[in-house]
Structure 1
Amino acid sequence: MSSPRIFTNQPLIVGQTVTLDEQPSLHLLRVLRLTVTAPVRLFNGDGCEYQGAIATANKKQAEIHIVTASAAEAIPPLPLHLGQVISKGDKMDFTIQKATELGVSQITPLFSERCDVRLKGERLEKKIEHWQKVALSACEQSGRNRIPQVLPALSLNDWYARCDAERRLILHPHNQQPLQQAHPPASVALLVGPEGGLTNTEVAAGAAHGFQGLLLGPRILRTETAALAAVSVLQFLWGDF
């Protein structure tokens, strides 16, 4: 059984001992029932993974002594920014979790005309924090050391205006070009719409900002399926699959 892998938001240096926050400490000590000398792996988003062991433990706190560090994880060859219109229930959590596992670099939650989720103010801020935690948890599980950033939510038009990726794709059958015939781009932005789809006006606005259509076969995919299928295709063509 491999040692548990824990994220901690603090500098990690070989030979030093760090104190974990209460939540990960309780996970190690109460859920996993680990004791002193048990091996633990840590990461903090700097690209490395740090191997250590529990040095001290009490009811609510664990200290980890760092023994070694791995070489920094390679920067993904394809910076991939997913613009995902917010979906209902736990679908958005699922999309962020799996997109993280598949190697996206950034995720921006979006509001569109047919988006059924209405969040603002403190509720929206808490959701963004929650989604970042979902991405962190997916990094812990998948062995990823570089953490994708969940950016503040934007309206679709604002995201269009700010997007600076070299290749811009929208999951909609318009103005399509075969992906395999294009040169590998320096960066990609991928837009996935809501359950009800994008309006013609929204698609036209995307085209005006350089977004080209992308169609994933003859079947209609749910929004959470479409995002992951598209990311997988792009990673296969231009990324590290």
Structure 2
Amino acid sequence: MRIPRIFTEQRLQTGELAELEESASHHLSKVLRMQAGRELILFNGKGGEFAATIHEVSKKHVTVSVATHTADNRESPLVLELAIGISRGERFEWVLQKATELGVTKITPLITERTEVKVGGDRQEKMLDRWQQILVSACEQCQRNLLPELSAPIHISDWLNTVNSEFRFVLHHRDSKTLPADQKPNSVSLLIGPEGGLSETEITLAQEKNFNALTLGPRVLRTETAPVAAISLVQYLWGDF
């Protein structure tokens, strides 16, 4: 039987009892219907994971007994940032989930000329909370113990001034360049547009900031397909695939 992996924000210590947050407790007790004595794996994003056993199940909370710590984080040796224009609805959430599963280190949502999603104020805070929960759920599923860093939405021109990755690529389906497989960078930034892609001005601006144009074959990929293909190739060449 599969042992559930549960994320918690609290400090974990071998030999101590920990009361899980309400959402995690509800999932274990109401959805999975788990009782005292069942085994769990806990992680808090600080590194490694803990074996645990359910100690007590109450109406609102599950208390667990924390056991041994394992230091494995299952992280790629490549520091990989995905900067992508915010797309509408479930498309962007799907990208967040798959990028996490594929081992991205950092995700930066971009506001571009063709971004149609409105961000800012309370709406942005709610979006970030939801996006963060998607990353947590993806890490629980794929067995990562460190959450990818999630940045607040930023205008593409502002973000370009902050990039310091060794290799930088902007996806551009009208360019013929491919990845330099014979080289071995330690860090990579991938820049991908929203629906409709990046504008010519934005591509030119990226190239002025030392981004190399990158194509992924002769077909035009959707905004949710392109990052999965690009991340997979990068991880295969320079990461842990």
Contact 2:175 / 2:215 at 8 angstroms: preserved in 1? no
Q: Which amino acid aligns with 1:57?
A: V
Cα RMSD, aligned residues only: 1.3
Matches within 5 A, 1:35-50: 35-50=35-50
Paired residue secondary structure (2:64)? strand
Unaligned 5+ runs, structure 2: none
Q: Give the stretch that moved more between structures: 65-74 or 123-132.
A: 65-74
1:88 counterpart = 2:83: no
Matches within 5 A, 1:150-165: 150-165=150-165
Who is 1:5 aligned against?
5
Query: Scaled by the length of structure 2, what TM-score is found?
Result: 0.96
Task: Provide the rounded CA distance (Å) in 2 between the counterparts of 1:57 and 1:118.
Answer: 42
Paired residue secondary structure (1:213)? strand
1:65 counterpart = 2:65: yes
Contact 2:110 / 2:155 at 8 angstroms: preserved in 1? yes
1:204 counterpart = 2:204: yes
Paired residue secondary structure (1:46)? coil
Paired residue secondary structure (1:162)? coil
Who is 1:97 aligned against?
97
Who is 2:213 aligned against?
213
Q: Which amino acid aligns with 2:128?
A: I
Contact 2:87 / 2:195 at 8 angstroms: preserved in 1? yes
Q: CA deviation at 1:177?
A: 4.5
Unaligned 5+ runs, structure 1: none
Task: Provide the rounded CA distance (Å) in 2 between the counterparts of 1:184 and 1:31.
Answer: 45
The runs of at least 4 consecutive aligned structure 1 residues that moved more than 3 Å come to: 173-178
Contact 1:160 / 1:206 at 8 angstroms: preserved in 2? yes
Paired residue secondary structure (2:225)? helix
Task: Provide the rounded CA distance (Å) in 2 between the counterparts of 1:208 and 1:182.
Answer: 24
Q: Which amino acid aligns with 1:36?
A: A
Q: Give the stretch that moved more between structures: 8-17 or 180-189.
A: 180-189
Q: Percent identity over the alignment?
A: 44
Paired residue secondary structure (1:195)? coil
Task: Provide the rounded CA distance (Å) in 1 between the counterparts of 2:121 and 2:222.
Answer: 28
Deviations 1:82-123 (A, max 9, x none): 001000111010000000000000001001001111221110
Matches within 5 A, 1:1-241: 1-73=1-73, 75-173=75-173, 177-241=177-241
Paired residue secondary structure (2:81)? strand
Contact 1:175 / 1:212 at 8 angstroms: preserved in 2? no
